[in-house]
Amino acid sequence: MQDISPPRAQTARERARDQITAEIVAAARIRLAESGPADLSLRAVARDVGMVSSAVYRYFASRDELLTALLVLAYDDLGAATERADAAVADRDDFQARWFASLRGIRRWALANPGDYALLYGSPVPGYAAPQTTVEPAVRVILVILRIVTEGHAAGAIVVPASSDVGSDGGPGDAALAHAVGGAVQFVRSRGLVDGEVPLELVVRTLIAWTTVFGTISFELFGHLVGSVTDTDAYFDLLADRLFRDLGFGGPGSRDHD
Amino acid sequence: MQDISPPRAQTARERARDQITAEIVAAARIRLAESGPADLSLRAVARDVGMVSSAVYRYFASRDELLTALLVLAYDDLGAATERADAAVADRDDFQARWFASLRGIRRWALANPGDYALLYGSPVPGYAAPQTTVEPAVRVILVILRIVTEGHAAGAIVVPASSDVGSDGGPGDAALAHAVGGAVQFVRSRGLVDGEVPLELVVRTLIAWTTVFGTISFELFGHLVGSVTDTDAYFDLLADRLFRDLGFGGPGSRDHD
DNA sequence: GATTTTCGAGAGCAGTGCTCTCGCTAGAAG
DNA sequence: CTTCTAGCGAGAGCACTGCTCTCGAAAATC
């Protein structure tokens, strides 16, 4: 195969440019770790890499563009960390172990990189809208937990929890469900995660689990659990367990292994 | 009754001071609504109220102190809105209606006041630590949902969900639970919300519900649900229903009413 | 070797939080 | 009613921010 673009012989200039770009991002990431995203100063970053602020603009058109680069990097880092956590479980059919490993991996990454986490899941920087390029890296972490659920379902380890029609109106529950989480269903289909029918209630439950995990981590990092949760490590495991069971895992018949 | 302190005859100076203070806060709140907390400019607020920036420092020692005032105001506003939503349900034994009303009230407030919401539940402003005075107003909204759960439990409307020992170790589940959520248990007791024993699993479930509600609202406001959840109104109701049932409400025997 | 592209430095603009000083004025004290 | 003082608003100023523009030097290209 012809190496068309990626490993094409870079000119010295290009190599230097890439290297300096990486240097800037690295310096920015360090500063981000010890101050919030809103506090990130382009001038300070410039000083760190031994440049004057205007020189940085040769590499990033604006502070927002630097933030976007950090965003992509952080999403990828989180995604990779979560994938690693899941992959570390040897028995691929031990969905409980995979679930715990992945969720703990997410939380561990967040605690280790609070600045990045705040950038990703905190309040958005005012006036800043993440461009489309950030979508794909953002999806990685979701895919990990989605795969556990879909594979678990395919393996018959899930008893899809009962849906309920206790909505405000007595209408047909499934149509309402399909409409509400239509995007997620389409997403799961487009990624080829499931062939055949997608149980809507499972989609809803997975969305809830996803939201709860990040909601909990955000609460922990942002100080909202102080006073209520005494042992955050233990609480998170408790949470992971409840979410796992609410998904329909570990139901009747699938005794756990110890 | 003697009016001891609150309506004590204020001097003209004090009245003027309070009025201007309120004016500043009001102006700040308006600016906050259309830009994030990090973007809130004390100088801009000063301009809005027809002052020069240094004059504002006669009323607030720093920008952070202004933010704290806004924080307290916002917490109180959210708390009041939620209390109103709950109180609007005439039948106090209709816990489902109260649950939906309260949760919807929280979300409605958040959507109507995104700036305030970001201030309360977004990433904290770097270097800013909310002082103790903000704790009490912050608690109001939690108390509303806590009351629904405790009253529901006292009324026998809840079948406390089964705990599970599927933790990492096979130790005694209840001791671990008690340790993890000890703060919450103590809180519930200190507020006199429950006399007698507090079912630990219910405490855990309530904490999870609380976290999930705010996690979902944060995700919605911060744009993380775009692409997955197509109808956010409907999804939130779906969520409220699942949380309600996971708490043990609407279990066997307590058929809902329509 | 001449030319064009690329890049870093520096000055500068408008904005920020915050401090300090200086008058004015309204309320308190006599 | 006069004197005095405490409180307040204005202004200048400092160090910082994001960002723009110009200029000179160096490197790649022709």
- DSSP conformational letter for B134: G
Whether the beta carbon of A35 falls within 7 A of nucleic chain D: the reply is no
Helix ranges, chain B (H):
12-33, 42-48, 53-56, 63-87, 95-112, 114-121, 135-154, 173-180, 182-190, 200-221, 232-246
Kindly indicate the confidence band of residue B170, based on its pLDDT and cuts at 50, 70 and 90: very low
In this complex, do A36 and B125 lie within 8 Å of one another by their Cβ atoms?
yes
Nearest to A212 among B180, B215, B237 (CB): B215
User: Of residues 60 to 119 in chain B, which lie within 7 A of strand C by their beta carbon?
Assistant: 61-64
Do B204 and B102 lie in one domain? The reply is yes
CA distances from B85 to A142, B79, B182 (A): 34, 10, 29
Query: What is the predicted pLDDT for the residue at A224?
Result: 95
In this complex, do A38 and B125 lie within 8 Å of one another by their Cβ atoms?
yes
> Of the spans A88-102, A117-131, A162-176, B21-35, which averages the highest pLDDT?
A88-102
In a domain? residue A1: no
If you compute the radius of gyration of chain B from its CA atoms, what whole number of angstroms results?
22
> Per residue in A51-61, pLDDT tens?
999 999 999 99
Distance CA B152, CA B96 (A): 9
Chain A nearest-CA residue for B163: A242
Which nt has its C1' nearest the CA of B64?
C17
In this complex, do A242 and B207 lie within 8 Å of one another by their Cβ atoms?
no
Which nt has its C1' nearest the CA of A42?
D18
Question: Residue B8 pLDDT more than 60?
Answer: no
Do B56 and B92 lie in one domain? The reply is no
Interface test with A, best of B35, B99, B233, B238 (most A CBs within 10 A): B238
Do B110 and B152 lie in one domain? The reply is yes
B130 vs A contacts (CB less than 8 Å) = 223
Query: What is the predicted pLDDT for the residue at B171?
Result: 47
Distance CA A214, CA B225 (A): 12
Query: What is the predicted pLDDT for the residue at B135?
Result: 92
Structural domains counted in chain B: 2
Give the tokens for residue A204: 């809803």
Whether the beta carbon of A60 falls within 7 A of nucleic chain C: the reply is no
Residue A237, min C-alpha distance to chain B (Å): 7
In a domain? residue B27: yes
In this complex, do A222 and B121 lie within 8 Å of one another by their Cβ atoms?
yes
Do B100 and B219 lie in one domain? The reply is yes
Do B82 and B55 lie in one domain? The reply is no
In a domain? residue B43: yes
- DSSP conformational letter for B255: -
In this complex, do A124 and B183 lie within 8 Å of one another by their Cβ atoms?
no
Kindly indicate the confidence band of residue B160, based on its pLDDT and cuts at 50, 70 and 90: very high
Question: Residue B131 pLDDT more than 50?
Answer: yes
Do B86 and B209 lie in one domain? The reply is yes
Distance CA A183, CA A203 (A): 10
Give the tokens for residue A164: 């309920």
In a domain? residue A57: no
For the domain that residue B45 is a member of, what is the CATH number? 1.10.10
Average pLDDT of every residue of chain B: 89
Q: Integer distance in angstroms from CA B61 to C1' D3?
A: 32
B249 vs A contacts (CB less than 8 Å) = none
Nucleotides of C under 7 A from a protein CB: 6-12, 15-21, 26-28
In this complex, do B218 and A218 lie within 8 Å of one another by their Cβ atoms?
yes
Chain B nearest-CA residue for A223: B124
Q: Which of A75-89, A193-207, B169-183, B185-199 has the lowest mean pLDDT?
A: B169-183
Which nt has its C1' nearest the CA of B39?
C16
Interface test with B, best of A78, A123, A233 (most B CBs within 10 A): A123
Do B31 and B141 lie in one domain? The reply is no
In a domain? residue B45: yes
**Do residues B211 and A212 touch, judged by C-beta distance below 8 A?**
yes
B180 vs A contacts (CB less than 8 Å) = 229-231, 234-235, 238
> Per residue in B26-65, pLDDT tens?
999 999 988 888 889 999 999 999 999 999 999 999 999 9
Residue A216, min C-alpha distance to chain B (Å): 6
Give the tokens for residue A41: 């100063």
Chain B nearest-CA residue for A97: B168
Do B31 and B150 lie in one domain? The reply is no
Give the tokens for residue B31: 């600016």
In a domain? residue B141: yes
Residue span of the structural domain in which B172 resides: 78-246
Query: What is the predicted pLDDT for the residue at B81?
Result: 98
For the domain that residue A192 is a member of, what is the CATH number? 1.10.357.10
Whether the beta carbon of A162 falls within 7 A of nucleic chain C: the reply is no
In this complex, do A216 and B211 lie within 8 Å of one another by their Cβ atoms?
yes
Nearest to B184 among A223, A229, A234 (CB): A229
Kindly indicate the confidence band of residue A12, based on its pLDDT and cuts at 50, 70 and 90: confident
In a domain? residue A93: yes
Query: What is the predicted pLDDT for the residue at B77?
Result: 97
> Per residue in A59-77, pLDDT tens?
999 999 999 999 999 999 9
Query: What is the predicted pLDDT for the residue at A68?
Result: 94
Whether the beta carbon of A8 falls within 7 A of nucleic chain D: the reply is no
B179 vs A contacts (CB less than 8 Å) = 230-231, 234
Query: What is the predicted pLDDT for the residue at B34?
Result: 82
> One-letter amino acid identity for B125?
V
CA distances from A234 to A231, B174, B196 (A): 5, 12, 25
Query: What is the predicted pLDDT for the residue at A127?
Result: 65
Nucleotides of D under 7 A from a protein CB: 7-13, 16-22, 27-29
> Of the spans A32-46, A173-187, B56-70, which averages the highest pLDDT?
B56-70
Name the residue among B81, B63, B79, B76 with its Cα closest to residue B24.
Answer: B63
Do B35 and B95 lie in one domain? The reply is no
Kindly indicate the confidence band of residue A257, based on its pLDDT and cuts at 50, 70 and 90: very low
In a domain? residue A236: yes
Do B82 and B49 lie in one domain? The reply is no
Rounded to the nearest angstrom, the gap between the alpha carbon of residue A137 and the centroid of all alpha carbons in its chain is 8
